[in-house]
Structure 1
């Protein structure tokens, strides 16, 4: 079956077909926002039921069947993206069968800037695949409300061609340079996120240990310089002691590892990032790695 072409007035300058692979907590709302604009979208997920639950898209049985001119991947790390390429059911075979010679592969996950740059060079050299790293910030709420921030790295022409698509589910799109640059900016973002989550968790632990009302404490913080998007989105977790779901601590620790990798390459010492990394190592070692990163509160209180 031939994939419907996108209308030029919807996505000027983009490729004519789009797929999204990975319909988890971030991928699903991104897909819904794309479909809401009337853009034909092919979906694939390892658990097909999650892709079918979105409704409105065409669900593929394999990455090969989902091979389109633009493929968005919303997966935790680069190895999961690389695993989609090879074999009879892989993207490379799908692109070959469809006659797509220069597809754009978008990596929306938070990955190593060094690894994604190497991956992009190999993809271009070996298969003619253009890789754009475009990590996201804004969380699941930002994804639902189409107000994500996208920090992109890749060839300018490729980023320009996918930017109108990105704008369907984001409020900010900025290209910072070649592939890997977006992930470096995401590392900067994650220093602030991880440190803010940990600082707020410490504040909540101190308040709870002093028998203070956490809701009232948060109301005061929200009215002053301590206010943040983290507090707005995550504050109820500390009040309700509900740390299930959300952005996991093990993923936060993975991101902190990327931060320290870049710091090592640039000769920088990042004392705050190193301290926060140690705290999340303790949290994961305690068996709380699958909890939302706000669950660092439990680690702090346990000490």
Structure 2
């Protein structure tokens, strides 16, 4: 099976590498100079059985879509693994008969390990056809509904992750100011009902104030915009989501956009002049 992979960034590059290790023939292309293995989108798409995009936002996906439509074959399976607006995914599905929206969760580590969670929207028959490809990059793979559903579930994922980071940040500060060792405290929390993947992977780096990006504040800011827009479209009031959205916006406004989203701790510190 030949795969064209567009978007060789922090997430896309290791995902493409894992597809190659699984035996697929992968032709990669990146919109940024220096990140390409073929010279153009057209070259990545021509002759491919599957095309995957892993791009920052809706505008980048929409930028490459005309060439995917033009150079892809009639039976091309298109899997967009970017995190974008559900409405954009619905528009893609109207233009390509075999399109899936399949955003991921798990960050850079999950991309490297091939252990991503993948939430897939689209037709059941296209999902089944895509499954061998998705199994090369992910561990938890669920068909969650029709086109756009994958992006809606990803929005829900991002609001939970953002809220968890905010609460872990507050817990760290509370323990520190109270004279408690936060590293030991978080070890206890991680083993109880408060345990989470965020605590498992990030508690030590957060206590150490190591905010090297696995998933940048800038991207989480974009994702929270998708979540709040989806809530508005559904006619829902999500007050905690709105608060988390503002905290992430504050992190970006304070110049932390290039840091990991665990840098919400810096915002909580600044609020408390800590």
The alignment's TM-score, normalised by the length of structure 2, stands at: 0.92
Say if 1:66 and 1:91, in contact at 8 Å, map to a contact too: no
8 A contact 2:122–2:145 mirrored in 1: yes
Q: Contact conserved, 2:158 with 2:224, CA < 8 A, in 1?
A: yes
Residue 171 (1) aligns with residue 153 (2): no
Determine the structure 1 residue equivalent to 2:54.
Answer: 74
The one of 81, 84, 105 aligned to 2:78: 105
Q: Secondary structure at the match of 2:42?
A: coil
Gaps of 5+ in 1: 1-5, 7-16, 52-58
**Is there any run of 5+ residues in structure 2 with no aligned partner, and where?**
none
Alpha-carbon distance, 1:173 to partner: 1.4
How far apart, in 2, do the equivalents of 1:270 and 1:119 lie? 28
- Return the offset for 1:132: 1.0
CA-CA distance at 1:244 after TM superposition = 2.6
Q: For residues 188 and 31 of structure 1, what CA distance do their matches in structure 2 show?
A: 26
8 Å contact kept, 1:44–1:61: yes
- Equivalent-residue separation in structure 2 for 1:107 and 1:202 (angstroms): 35
Q: Closer, same or farther in 2 for the Cα pair 1:185/1:204, shift >3 Å?
A: same
TM-score by length of 1: 0.84
Match of 1:33 among 18, 32, 42: 18
How many aligned positions are there? Answer: 269
| Residue-by-residue CA offset, 1:26-55 (whole Å, 9 max, x unaligned) | 11221121111222111111345444xxxx
Cα separation, 1, equivalents of 2:204 and 2:21: 30
How is 1:117-156 mapped onto 2 (pairs within 5 angstroms)?
117-121=90-94, 123-124=95-96, 130-156=98-124
How is 1:1-303 mapped onto 2 (pairs within 5 angstroms)? 6=1, 17-47=2-32, 49-51=34-36, 59-67=37-45, 68-86=48-66, 90-95=67-72, 100-121=73-94, 123-124=95-96, 130-303=98-271
Q: How far did 1:292 drift?
A: 0.8
Q: Runs ≥4 in structure 1, deviation > 6 angstroms?
A: none
Q: Which moved more, 1:157-166 or 1:212-221?
A: 212-221
Question: What CA deviation, in whole Å up to 9, does each residue of 1:196-244 have, x standing for no partner?
Answer: 1111111112223334322212211112111111111112221221113
* Partner Cα separation in structure 2 for residue 148 and residue 220 of structure 1: 26
What secondary structure, in the 3-state scheme, does the structure 2 residue paired with 1:64 have?
helix
Q: State the alpha-carbon separation in 2 of the partners of residues 274 and 188 from structure 1.
A: 13
